[in-house]
Structure 1
Amino acid sequence: MFGTKFQRKYALTDQGVENVKKGVFWTVIVNLVVMGGVGILHFVMSGLMATLTEGTPLPGALQVLAGLVVFALLSFLTHLQQYKTTYGLVYGEVKASRLRLAEQLRKLPLGFFGKHDLADLTETLMGDVNRMEHVWSHVLGYLYGSYISTAVITACLFWYDWRLAIACLWGVPVAFGLLFGSRKMAERQAGQTKEAAVRVSDGMQEALENVREIRAANQEERYLVGLYQKINDHERVMIHGELVTGLFVNGASVIMRLGVATTILVGAQLILAGQIDFMLLFLFLMVITRIYAPFDQSLALIAELFVSQVSADRMNRLFDTPIAEGTEKFCPKGHDIVFDHVGFAYDEKVVLSDITFTAKEGEITALVGPSGSGKSTCARLAARLWDVTRGTIKVGEIDISTVDPEALLTDYSMVFQDVVLFDDTVMENIRLGKRGASDAEVMAAAKAANCEEFIKKLPQGYHTSIGENGTKLSGGERQRISIARALLKNAPIVLLDEATASLDVENETKVQDALSRLLAGKTVLVIAHRMRTVAGADHIVVLKEGRVAQQGTPQELMAQGGLYRRMVELQSESAQWNLKQA
């Protein structure tokens, strides 16, 4: 019952399966104890009936009181254990599941995130786990425990009288059959509800991230109308889904409870025929009041299981996504980066084809080319943020696809065009480059990246909080913080993707001078659109439409002519452009 298939179906951890087993066990005990209360009542009523009809003595008050005390004590203790195992243990499972998801996300290649938006992943981490939390705590233990205890009670009823047992329970399989018949409809409706919820989350996130642009374009009203429409669609889909589920659940419950009427009719006929006595019918009627209660809740719980399957499937899809794995030991022979006939396709679209070049240790290798030529893709492939589709990339003669990304990235410092900063102080944002770095080391890196000038103007200097993703800083200031972080790490390989794009001419020159001094002896891969940024590079690789068009020193490429020389000349001409009236 609780094998691997069960674990996967409900997206449980190993400990979660054990918790469900405990919940099922104590639910069975609770249901049987409750039926014991029915037995006490039957004992008392049978004694009273015997006294009225046969004149036998009434059951002793002490016996009845002792039975009630034992029943109350057992009921309290078993319900307490059921609560602890079905609810108390589940909160640890929620924590473990979110940590599992976070760990899985941490190990996924960057290409995965290019195919999934943030709102969808957030919905999985928060919404789907919340949905499954209710299933783990309120559904699984109770539902499977009710199955087992009801099977035991049903066997007892058939032992007492099979005719009354059939009259009592015939509606149960019919009701469950009706509910299971609606499963595909419920799952389809749940999928539509989840898609609508993701669209709402996506719209709200987009509005918050782009509020300045929306206001600047005077598009508030139009954008809000679209957001309201997404919310209304979500509400409509939810109402429709709950209506459909409610109709089937309540319809099944009505059919099941017809067993009360058939039990009375069959019991009355058997009494008239002299085949049973009234107390047996009374026993069955009392059992019905208890046996239908877990069935009623089971119908609602099964309907919830159908809906929750969508959330479990979404979590499992994330767990099933292949992670970037490899050896945790990375001991390269030097740090030359060698691209050997590398190809890469993104979502079936070919981005790179047959890329071959070497970025040598101790040299600055620049990647240039028109927008969309594959420069940034090469940098990300070099750090195994994505895996190549074809060919190999080696660092120090080691194929990086065989190395665990975390082990590999200990030898990399990266500054990309899209800077990511945290809602923390300047000091801690730079210190992210080197865990445990002293304040003096952080300040030295900040000075080398030309950050001191603006840091001194901040209210608390290095201890000033810069806001979410550095919103309190300008674009150039954020870029320099990122450069300082890379310099602090002092790794043997440095990737710079448009690292000076947001700097003015004066600061760009200062940072380039600092980089020239501090990057000596390292393997440096630079990506830039400005030709003067890479004029001092040792080796330039010119990319066009995902292929290597040219490569060599700046002097060699100028002498060859071709795309590189054309780009240099065009930028020289654009440098002469100025504003003037027509």
Structure 2
Amino acid sequence: MFGEKFKRKFALTDQGVRNARLGAYWTVAANLTSFAGIGFLFLFVKQLMDAMTTGAELPGVLPYVLGLLAYFALSFLVHRMQYQNTYGTVYEEVGTLRKGLAERMRKLPLPFFMGRDLADLSETIMSDVKTLEHVWSHVLGYLYGSYIFTAVVAVVLLTYDWRLAIAALWSVPVAFALLFGSRKMTVKSQAEAKAAALGVSEDVQETLDNVREIRAINQEERYLSGLFAAMDKAEASQTMVELGNGIVINAASVIMRLGIATTIMVGANLIVAGQIDFMVFFAFLLCVSRIYSPFDQSLALIAEVFFSEVSAKRLQAIYDEPTAGGAESFSPKGHDIVFDNVGFSYDGAPVLRGASFVAREGEVTALVGPSGSGKTTCSRLAARLWDADSGSVRVGGVDVSTVDPEVLLGDYAMVFQDVILFDDTVMGNIRLGRRDATDEEVLAAAKAANCDEFVRDLPQGYDTMIGENGSRLSGGERQRISIARALLKDAPILLMDEATASLDVESETQVQEALSRLLVGKTVLVIAHRMRTIENADKVVVLEDGRVAEEGRPSDLLQQGSGLFRHMTELQTLSAGWSI
């Protein structure tokens, strides 16, 4: 019942399976304890009937009082253990799940995220985990405990009188058969409702991300009407799910209650026939008044289990994704980056086709080429953000695909055109480069990156909150914080993606001064879009259609009469003279 299939079905950890097992067992104990109350009532009525019919004496009040006190004490302890082993342990499991999910995503390769929408992942982390949390805490232990409890009671009743037992219990499997018969339809409708809700999340996120552009093209009404239509569709879809589920649950509940009627009918006939006495009939009436109670909630719980299958599958899909593992140590002989006949495809489309070149330690190697030639792919492969399909990428003689990405990236610093900052202080954002850095080291890196002059003008200086992704700063200021972060890390390998391409002249000058301090003595691989920014590079690798078309010093490549590098440089020189 609680094997590997159960674990995957509900996306549980090993501890979660153990918790579910304990919750089910204590639920059985709680149900049996509650059922024992009927036994006390039956014994009292039997003694009362014996006294009335045979003149037997009733026990004193004290045994009843002591019995009730013992029963209440036992009931309290059992129900407390049930609560602790269902709700209490589940919240620990949810915390473990969220941490495990974050750890799993941290180790997943970049292509996993490239192929998924952010709203989809957010929905899994927040909504799907919340759905499963409720199933773990309110459903699993109670539901499976009810199954076991019913099996135990059924055996007892069948032993006592099989005719009345069948009359009392036949409706239970019929009611559950109705629920399980509707399972396929329920899961399908829930999946559709989930997809509709996810569509709303994606539309909301898209609208918020592009609100400036939407206003600029005067399309507010069109986008909002589309958003409202998606919301209406999601609401209608969820309403149909709940309506269909409610009809099935209520029908199953009515069918289950028919067991009371059949127990009365069969019992009355057996009494008339003289095959049972009244006390046996009375005992079964007491049982049927209580035996269906656990299933009143179980009917709704089973429907919730069906709903949770959609969330569990989405969550399990993340755990089934292969992670990018490797050695926990990285000891290269130097930091030369070697691409050896590297091939790479994205979604089946070739991006690199046998690319080979060397970026040497202490030199600046620039990657240039037309859009789609594979420049960005090379930088990502160099840092093992992706893994090559063929060939190898080596750093200091070590194949990067054999090293754990987190260990490998300890030797890398990155400065890209699209800077990512956090809603934290200036100090906190720079310290991300090296978390154990002292304030003095952070300030030194900030000054070296020419951050000090604009930070002094901020309200709280280095303790100023800069907003989401540095929204309170200019592009040049954000870029300088990124460079300060890289300076603080002081890694031997630096990857750059035209860090000054979108800056004004003044900001570009400030950033270039900071970069000149950052590049000294490192292996630098820079993606260049403007040819004039790499005039002093030690080496240029020209990519075309995923292959190395040319490589050499910039001055040497410019002297080639029909080279691609020269052609690109001439085109940019011509475009620089364009004016309105």
Task: List aligned pairs for 1:367-446, cutoff 5 A.
Answer: 367-446=367-446
Contact 1:539/1:554 (<8 A) preserved: yes
What's the counterpart of residue 200 of structure 1? 200
Task: List aligned pairs for 1:13-412, cutoff 5 A.
Answer: 13-412=13-412
What's the counterpart of residue 516 of structure 1? 516
What's the counterpart of residue 470 of structure 2? 470
Contact 2:557/2:566 (<8 A) preserved: yes
Tell me the distance in 1 between the aligned counterparts of 2:329 and 2:473. Answer: 38
Q: Secondary structure at the match of 1:52?
A: helix
Which amino acid is 1:38 matched to? I
Contact 1:479/1:502 (<8 A) preserved: no
Tell me the distance in 1 between the aligned counterparts of 2:495 and 2:425. Answer: 25
Which amino acid is 2:511 matched to? V
What's the counterpart of residue 541 of structure 2? 541
Tell me the distance in 1 between the aligned counterparts of 2:524 and 2:436. Answer: 25
Q: 1:258: Cα distance to partner?
A: 1.1
What's the counterpart of residue 563 of structure 1? 564
Contact 2:540/2:553 (<8 A) preserved: yes
Q: 1:450: Cα distance to partner?
A: 2.5
Tell me the distance in 1 between the aligned counterparts of 2:313 and 2:83. Answer: 27
Q: 1:111: Cα distance to partner?
A: 1.2
Cα deviation code 1:299-340 (max 9, x no counterpart): 211111111011111111001111110001000011110111
Contact 1:541/1:552 (<8 A) preserved: yes
Please list every run of at least 4 consecutive aligned residues from structure 1 whose deviation after the TM superposition is greater than 6 angstroms. none
Q: How many matched pairs?
A: 579
Contact 2:448/2:517 (<8 A) preserved: no
Which amino acid is 2:573 matched to? S
Tell me the distance in 2 between the aligned counterparts of 1:507 and 1:201. Answer: 37
Cα deviation code 1:376-395 (max 9, x no counterpart): 11111110111111211000
Q: 1:510: Cα distance to partner?
A: 4.2
Which amino acid is 2:183 matched to? R
Q: Secondary structure at the match of 2:274?
A: coil
Which amino acid is 2:492 matched to? P
Cα deviation code 1:489-512 (max 9, x no counterpart): 111100001211232234424433
Query: Relative to structure 1, is the Cα distance of residues 546 and 164 closer, same or farther in structure 2, using a 3 angstrom cutoff?
Result: same
Tell me the distance in 2 between the aligned counterparts of 1:305 and 1:380. Answer: 42
Cα deviation code 1:137-168 (max 9, x no counterpart): 11111111111121111111011100000011
Tell me the distance in 2 between the aligned counterparts of 1:442 and 1:502. Answer: 26
Tell me the distance in 2 between the aligned counterparts of 1:149 and 1:289. Answer: 15
Tell me the distance in 2 between the aligned counterparts of 1:13 and 1:139. Answer: 17
Q: 1:14: Cα distance to partner?
A: 1.9
Gaps of 5+ in 2: none
Q: 1:188: Cα distance to partner?
A: 1.0
Q: Which moved more, 1:5-14 or 1:327-336?
A: 5-14
Tell me the distance in 2 between the aligned counterparts of 1:428 and 1:82. Answer: 45
Which amino acid is 1:566 matched to? H
Which amino acid is 1:146 matched to? S
Query: Relative to structure 1, is the Cα distance of residues 506 and 21 closer, same or farther in structure 2, using a 3 angstrom cutoff?
Result: same
Tell me the distance in 2 between the aligned counterparts of 1:68 and 1:505. Answer: 87
Which amino acid is 1:574 matched to? S
Question: CA-atom RMSD, angstroms?
Answer: 1.4
Q: Secondary structure at the match of 1:567?
A: helix
Which amino acid is 1:416 matched to? F
Q: 1:240: Cα distance to partner?
A: 0.7
Q: Secondary structure at the match of 2:559?
A: helix
Contact 2:427/2:463 (<8 A) preserved: yes
Q: Secondary structure at the match of 1:89?
A: helix
Tell me the distance in 1 between the aligned counterparts of 2:400 and 2:473. Answer: 36
Contact 2:192/2:237 (<8 A) preserved: yes
Residue 577 (str. 1) matches residue 578 (str. 2): yes
Tell me the distance in 2 between the aligned counterparts of 1:425 and 1:419. Answer: 15
Which amino acid is 1:31 matched to? N
Q: 1:517: Cα distance to partner?
A: 4.0
* TM-score, reference length from structure 1: 0.97
Which amino acid is 2:91 matched to? Y
Which amino acid is 1:573 matched to? L
Q: Secondary structure at the match of 1:568?
A: helix
Which amino acid is 2:168 matched to? C
Gaps of 5+ in 1: none
Contact 1:332/1:395 (<8 A) preserved: yes
Task: List aligned pairs for 1:471-486, cutoff 5 A.
Answer: 471-486=471-486
Q: 1:51: Cα distance to partner?
A: 2.5
Q: Secondary structure at the match of 2:435?
A: coil
